[in-house]
């Protein structure tokens, strides 16, 4: 009841004319910046941090929250329309959203993403209000073996459901893990795969990898095939969701936040793992599995809802523990410190107006995001009317600008081209791109958690399975791996029974 009263007071703060203006500006800026490949919400908040020096803390953080959600949706827009993720959380949206766009259903994909963000953000923020203390206490108890188990689950799940075969999925994952090894060993400081270059000591940024594999690889693939077929504009399609679309998306919109919020709240969480797991879940539960990979709207709705809910989950650890779980949370933590405010257990007591105003503004920002972007879905989709040679030339330009903006080094452009060529080769030989991106994102973190768990157990492998949580996760992993074999055995037994019944029928006849 105290939380509800505090939230009502927060709405009194968030709904003032100036704070509403900051929320609207944040949503618009976040969406516009998120559309640019490579410039995600973390960079958007970091770039706009100096601009807020003259604002009061409440107004500044309300605008930051709008930028966060707006940039996540903007990243999904380019991911769906151009197969070019604006940030890592939007990678999954490209798998089903881009085939939908190519089939003339780009507006529907954008509408499903916008409503998914709205549903995920609303449910996630409600959970933030109700469950913040509980989730924070659970997050403290999760250790290195549990983190590693979660990441193994993500690896196995995504290689099991993508691509023409598991072997190709694993090959793609190994490519990503290899790229993730580039840089300094986090524990020993030894250089790995840097070829003596100091600029590679920090590793290859995941934004460059995602933009290279998706945007550059796609552009090269299209360019290679334009000689054979003329590049015609793709039809936009009708700008609303039909009854069939709504019937297929309402459950993923509700399931996504259940997956996304807890992962956003735990340290080393974020939106990447839950979006992958949401996609896997929707593929397993869907009645239209044959459409996955060809434009299944469930594969857009669920992951986008999970991504938005995870954004609310990140605020749990940051506000209650002062622990940033994502790059955006880290930038926002720096902003708190800039104003002389220290997030932690006492923040709700010392700065109640700021905290509850920020939480209330998340609800306001979600409504603004839906109100602004749902009508704009057909407008964004008209990007597909641009002839493909000009469209992909623009993609290459913005991809290069985004990659250069990451580190300001010319070497980043060379790496972008090399990874783009790898992406082209993966398309040529039928390797799915997503496992490679997952390998880059989660590979270094998985290695670090593995080594920590082994150090704690003095090198004993049993240290990886010494908690109930990790044992449960590994049981799920075994089930995923063994399920195809179990399915084949069941099918063979059924086939044997049917054959026996037929022979009996024939002999009896």
Answer whether 195's CB lies under 8 Å from 182's CB: no
Q: Tell me the C-alpha distance between 171 and 167, whole Å.
A: 6
User: Which of 4-8, 152-156, 167-171, 303-307 has maximum average pLDDT?
Assistant: 303-307
Higher pLDDT, 337 or 50: 337
CA distances from 284 to 152, 299, 483 (A): 19, 11, 12
CA distances from 305 to 31, 33, 183, 213, 311 (A): 16, 20, 34, 24, 10
pLDDT mean over 393-408: 76
- Is the pTM higher than 0.75? The answer reads no
Lowest mean per-residue pLDDT among 24-38, 232-246, 297-311, 435-449: 232-246
Angle between helices 17-35 and 41-48 (to 10 degrees): 130
Q: Label residue 422 by pLDDT band (50, 70, 90).
A: very high
Closest CA to 275 of 316, 251, 322, 308: 308
Q: Is residue 188 pLDDT above 70, yes or no? A: yes
Report the length, in residues, of the chain.
Answer: 509
Q: Tell me the C-alpha distance between 428 and 432, whole Å.
A: 10
Higher pLDDT, 106 or 176: 176
Q: Label residue 335 by pLDDT band (50, 70, 90).
A: confident
Non-local (6+) Cβ contacts of 291 within 8 A are none
Q: Tell me the C-alpha distance between 287 and 248, whole Å.
A: 9
User: Which of 158-172, 234-248, 251-265, 493-507 has maximum average pLDDT?
Assistant: 251-265
pLDDT at 421: 92
Express each pLDDT in 343-396 by its tens digit.
Answer: 766 777 777 788 888 888 888 888 888 887 777 766 766 665 677 677 777 778
Non-local (6+) Cβ contacts of 438 within 8 A are 154, 155, 158, 173, 176, 272, 276
pLDDT mean over 141-165: 74
Mean pLDDT of the chain: 78
Express each pLDDT in 438-473 by its tens digit.
Answer: 788 778 878 888 888 888 888 888 888 888 888 888
Express each pLDDT in 224-260 by its tens digit.
Answer: 876 555 555 555 555 567 788 888 888 888 888 888 8
pLDDT at 442: 77
Q: Label residue 156 by pLDDT band (50, 70, 90).
A: confident
Q: Is residue 129 pLDDT above 80, yes or no? A: yes
Q: Tell me the C-alpha distance between 93 and 78, whole Å.
A: 9
CA distances from 154 to 109, 209, 309, 354 (A): 25, 19, 18, 36
Higher pLDDT, 135 or 316: 316
Q: Is residue 485 pLDDT above 80, yes or no? A: no
Ranges of H-type helices in 266-323: 272-285, 298-321
């Amino acid at each position: 009841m105290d939380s509800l009263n505090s939230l009502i007071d927060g709405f009194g703060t968030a709904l003032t004319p100036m704070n509403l203006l900051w929320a609207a500006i944040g949503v618009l800026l976040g969406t516009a910046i998120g559309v640019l490949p490579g410039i995600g919400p973390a960079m958007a908040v970091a770039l706009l941090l100096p601009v807020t020096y003259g604002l009061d803390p409440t107004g500044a953080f309300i605008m930051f929250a709008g930028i966060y959600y707006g940039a996540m949706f903007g990243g999904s827009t380019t991911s769906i329309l151009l197969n070019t993720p604006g940030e890592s959380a939007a990678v999954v949206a490209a798998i089903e959203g881009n085939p939908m766009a190519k089939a003339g259903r780009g507006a529907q994909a954008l509408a499903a993403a916008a409503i998914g963000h709205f549903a995920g953000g609303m449910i996630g923020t409600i959970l933030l209000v109700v469950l913040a203390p509980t989730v924070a206490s659970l997050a403290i108890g999760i250790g290195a073996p549990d983190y590693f188990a979660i990441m193994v689950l993500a690896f196995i799940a995504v290689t099991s459901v993508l691509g023409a075969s598991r072997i190709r999925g694993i090959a793609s994952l190994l490519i990503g893990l290899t790229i993730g090894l580039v840089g300094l060993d986090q524990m020993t400081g030894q250089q790995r795969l840097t070829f003596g270059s100091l600029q590679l000591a920090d590793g290859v940024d995941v934004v460059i990898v995602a933009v290279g594999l998706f945007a550059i690889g796609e552009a090269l693939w299209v360019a290679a095939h334009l000689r054979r077929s003329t590049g015609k504009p793709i039809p936009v399609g009708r700008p609303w969701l039909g009854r069939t679309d709504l019937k297929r998306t309402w459950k993923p919109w509700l399931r996504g936040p259940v997956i996304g919020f807890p992962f956003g709240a735990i340290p080393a969480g974020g939106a990447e793992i839950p979006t992958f797991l949401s996609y896997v879940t929707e593929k397993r539960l869907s009645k239209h599995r044959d459409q996955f990979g060809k434009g299944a709207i469930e594969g857009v709705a669920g992951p986008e809802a999970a991504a938005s809910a995870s954004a609310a989950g990140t605020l749990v650890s940051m506000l209650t523990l002062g622990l940033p779980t994502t790059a955006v949370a880290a930038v926002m933590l720096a902003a708190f410190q800039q104003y002389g405010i220290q997030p932690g257990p006492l923040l709700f007591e010392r700065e109640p107006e700021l905290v509850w105003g920020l939480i209330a503004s998340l609800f306001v920002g979600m409504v603004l995001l839906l109100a602004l972007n749902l009508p704009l879905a057909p407008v964004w989709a008209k990007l597909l009317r641009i002839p493909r040679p000009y469209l992909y030339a623009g993609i290459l330009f913005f991809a290069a600008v985004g990659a250069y903006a990451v580190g300001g080094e010319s070497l980043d452009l060379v790496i972008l081209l090399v990874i783009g060529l790898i992406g082209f080769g993966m398309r040529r030989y039928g390797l799915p791109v997503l496992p490679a991106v997952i390998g880059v994102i989660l590979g270094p973190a998985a290695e670090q958690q593995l080594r920590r768990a082994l150090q704690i157990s003095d090198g004993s492998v049993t240290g990886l399975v010494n908690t109930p949580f990790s044992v449960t996760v590994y049981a799920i992993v075994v089930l995923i791996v063994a399920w195809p074999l179990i399915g084949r055995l069941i099918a063979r037994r059924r086939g044997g029974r049917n054959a026996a019944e037929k022979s009996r029928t024939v002999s009896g006849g």
